[in-house]
Every structure is written in C-alpha cells, then in structure tokens.
Amino acid sequence: MNIIIVGCGRVAFTLVEQLINENHNITVIDIDEKKVQYFTEELDVMGIVGNGTDYQTLLRAGIEHTNLLIAVTDIDEHNLLCCVMAKRLEFCKTIARVRNPIYNTETGFLRRELGLSLIINPELIAASEIARTFQFPSEIRIDTFTRGRIELLHFKVTANCLLNNYPLKYIRSRLKCNVLVCIVTRDDDIFIPDINFVFQEGDAIVVTATPADADAFFLKIGIHTNRAQTAMIVGGGTLGFYLARRLSDVGIHTKVIESDSKRCDELCELLPNTDIINGDGMDERLLIKEGLGKVDAFTALTGIDEENVLLSLYAKKISKGKIVTKIKRTYYSAVISNMQLDSVIFPSFLTADYITKYVRSMNQTSDGNMENIFKLENGRAEALEFFIYEPSLVTDTPIAQLRLKNDLIICSITRNGKLIIPTGQDEFKVGDVVIIITTRSRFYDIKDIVKR
C-alpha cells in the first residue's frame, strides 16, 4: 500500500516504525527540512520538504498513486485541510489527527462533509485507556472501537456469578441492565445467543455497554471491578480534561490540580462536578493537603515527562491507589520499563497502534462503506465498523422491521458522539457509526446485513 504521512513528529515516527515492517511504501512530508532528513535517514522512507496542503507538494509525494494519507501535524485545521486537498486531487482514504475538544462532538459531521475515513484524537484515546485502568481489573479484558467510545468487555461466568444458570432475557427485564450480550464462547463453540439462551459456568461472554452501565452490570452480577471511587489528576491540559470528564461521567469523584489560574477558570466551567485546584502539582504539601494518601487512583499528566515520573513514584510511596504515568517521549520506554511504576501510558504508541489497526483493516475492506474490521475470539468472530454516508434501505426504519441475516448482532450505534445500545425500535440515520458483530458472514456494506 502507498501511504503519505504529513507531519514528522512523535506519532509519525512511531507509526512509520510499525508500518515499514508491513511492506508499505511510505512518504513523509514536513516543512522542517531537518525533521524530514531525520526520518529518511533513520527509517529509510522517502521524504518531501513542503506543506501538506500544497498542490505541488502532494504531487511530488505521489498523491496520484496513494491509497492512504495520514495528517498528524500539530495543527488540527492543517490536518483537516491536508485531507481535503488529498480527496480533491485523488480518491484515497484520509486520516486526520484532531485534538481540540471543540471538534470532539463534531467528528461525525466533519467526516461526512469532508469525506474523511477516520478522525483520531490521541488525548481522548489515552483518557479512555487510563479510565479503564481505574475502573476494571485485569480479569475483564476490553476492546475499544469508534475512537474509544465503544467498549466490548470480555469476562467469564464463574460458579458464584449471578449469571450462572441465568436466562439472557432477564438481564434487561429483571436486572434492569442496559448491556448487550454480543458473543458467547462455550467449550469450542462460539455463537451469538438468542433471547432464550441460558448462561453456564465457564462461558466466555462479550458484552457492550457505556462505562457507567458496564459498572452497574458487573456490580449486579457479582463481579467486583475494584473500581476507584476517588481520583486525583495533576495536569489540567487536554488529556486531563478528557479524563476528568470521563471519570465524572461514571461517578468517580475527581480532583484536578492545575498551576495555570486561567486554565482553572476554564475547567471549572467545563467540569462542574469536578474539584479544580489551582496550585503546583509538584508541591508535596499541596498533594498531602488535597488527600493524595487517601485517593483510589492517581495520574500525572503534566507536559514534562520527568515531573510525571517523580510524581508517580512519590504517589506510590504514600498511596495504595492505582497509579498511571503519562510519558510523551517514546525513546524513554526502555528506561521506564526498569522503574517501579504501576501503569505507563505512551499516547504516541496508542495513537500509532490505533492507526495501524485501521491500515491493516484496509487490506480487507476495499469496497462499500465498511470502515474497519476487527478480529475477535482468535479470529472466529469479527466486529465490523460502518459509517452511513447516505440514505438506503436500512436507514430510517426500526431495526425490528429489517430482515437481518443470521449470525449477526447490531452491537452499537454512535450518533453525534453519543453511544446507543440498540433495541428493535432504534433506527439507522445518515452520519451514524454502526458496529456489527458476526460469526460467519462477511459484509462490505451496511446494506449487506439485510436478507434480499
């Protein structure tokens, strides 16, 4: 596959390292000649010095033969414009890194109107990863889709679990849990259960739910998530904002310590249910005063890696809570691995992994409106992501009235940034992102799920 990457930063470097090993032809573009030279020498890729929004620059990079353009500069608007230019010049897939929270609720609109294949937000992905660490133990494995908004949670039914010998149809009617059971693996068989299915000890279950609904579900069935009740965040930047909002949404009482008083005023308006503390997060007395020794979870999200490491080591010394450290510089990974830190998040790695997963899915999805394909249960099931660009025979009709094919389940609908766990009365709308899970059939277009 021919790929152009605009922007030679940390994410681009990590991404090229991953993609170059999968036999892709990669060209990088940046206005900084030194950065381009570094990439070409260290990674053995073709480099173009220029602006990714410039017509001649894209032609020099070979846009006419390009399958995918990825724009990961530090400027959101520049990334969006790069993708628009690429779509105007040639029909290729485009991915834009967009970090500003003001665009977060408009991703569906931007994708539809600008013809983007994917909009990725590194801070939002990292926030989701940290939030999961605070919420769930290792016994519950999580797959995420749709830029972290959709979660598939994997767990096993134990002898003491309420689901043991429990009918599936009672999960919503009696337990009042808004979760959707997607896949069950029993012995060597994998299937999508019907309404009359009865769970047994040893069943491996995959469910989807919002974070808040998932927490309530596990509590009711007797699986203790050891979820944090209180959290402290040092650093009120974009990542800190996303994380605090996510934690607030699931009922985790959160404090954010931020040194910039103006930013504190902004956070107070954006996060009315979060305690915002104006102060120096490196001040030991302040941390003790605000209850570091008692919190269930702590994370250091400042813009300085060394501060994050020191804060995490200090927090581990006086707190028994879960601790997550954010590191920007990927070349610190070897050093960090030798430190006694609990969990370390590299946003660049997470972002690169997310894009790489999409690139791999492109090799299998050349037609229709399927955006991504994800293998589940050792490849025996697939989660398919569709973006609905236009009206069709499946839109504006209750799901219950659609003649759906066998061995599939509609896992989720994301509309204007809001997750919907579908029922028979829900409908597909233009602009929706839909996740379908299937154990047999292959679909390339959302219309393929309906019997003809």
142 CB contacts (<8 Å, ≥6 apart)?
Answer: 132, 136, 151, 152, 153, 154
Burial class of residue 162 (count of CB atoms within 10 Å of its CB; 0-12, 13-18, 19+): middle
d(CA 258, CA 13): 30
d(CA 422, CA 156): 24
**Nearest alpha-carbon partner for 147 in 117, 125, 131:** 125
CA distances to 101, 355, 429 from 418, rounded to whole Å, are 15, 22, 13
pLDDT, position 313: 92
H/E segment holding residue 340: none
The pair of structure tokens assigned to 40 is 């070409």
Sort strands 418-420 and 408-415 into parallel, antiparallel or unpaired.
antiparallel
Burial class of residue 190 (count of CB atoms within 10 Å of its CB; 0-12, 13-18, 19+): middle
Best mean pLDDT range from 142-151, 210-219, 271-280, 436-445: 271-280
Fold (CATH) for 125-221 = Alpha-Beta Plaits (3.30.70)
Q: What is the pLDDT of residues 178-217, one digit of tens each?
A: 899 999 999 888 989 988 999 999 999 999 887 778 878 9
The lowest-confidence range among 5-14, 23-32, 106-115 is 106-115
26 CB contacts (<8 Å, ≥6 apart)?
Answer: 3, 4, 5, 16, 19, 20, 45, 46
401 CB contacts (<8 Å, ≥6 apart)?
Answer: none
Strand order in the sheet with 418-420: 370-376, 381-387, 433-438, 408-415, 418-420
pLDDT, position 169: 92
405 DSSP assignment = P
pTM of the model: 0.73
Rounded mean pLDDT, 368-375: 70
pLDDT, position 441: 64
pLDDT at 292 over 90: yes
pLDDT at 371 over 90: no
Buried b vs exposed e over 172-184: b needs ≥16 C-beta within 10 Å?
eeebebbbbbbbb
Q: What beta strand segments (E) does 45-178 contain?
A: 46-49, 68-71, 93-97, 118-120, 141-145, 150-156
Percent of the chain with pLDDT over 70: 93
pLDDT, position 235: 96
pLDDT, position 47: 96
pLDDT, position 338: 67
pLDDT, position 71: 96
Domain 125-221 and domain 230-352, same fold? Reply is no
d(CA 136, CA 153): 10
pLDDT, position 102: 84
- Match domain 364-449 to its CATH number in 3.40.50.2300, 3.40.50.300, 3.30.70.1450, 2.40.50.140: 3.30.70.1450
pLDDT at 348 over 60: yes
**Amino acid at position 200, single letter:** Q
- Looking from the CA of 340 toward its CB, the CA atoms found within 13 Å total 5
The pair of structure tokens assigned to 425 is 């009365």
Angle between helices 76-89 and 107-114 (to 10 degrees): 30
The lowest-confidence range among 32-41, 416-425, 428-437 is 416-425
- Quote the radius of gyration of the chain (alpha carbons, Å): 23
Per the prediction, the chain carries an average pLDDT of: 87
d(CA 94, CA 87): 8
pLDDT, position 370: 73
Domain extent listing, the chain: 2-97, 125-221, 230-352, 364-449
Fold (CATH) for 230-352 = Rossmann fold (3.40.50)
Q: What is the pLDDT of residues 262-290, one digit of tens each?
A: 999 999 999 999 999 999 999 999 999 99
Backbone φ and ψ for 6, nearest 5 degrees, come out as -100, 120
Residue where the block lists tokens 């390292």? 17
140 CB contacts (<8 Å, ≥6 apart)?
Answer: 153, 154, 155, 218, 223, 225
Q: Does CATH number 3.40.50.720 belong to domain 2-97?
A: yes
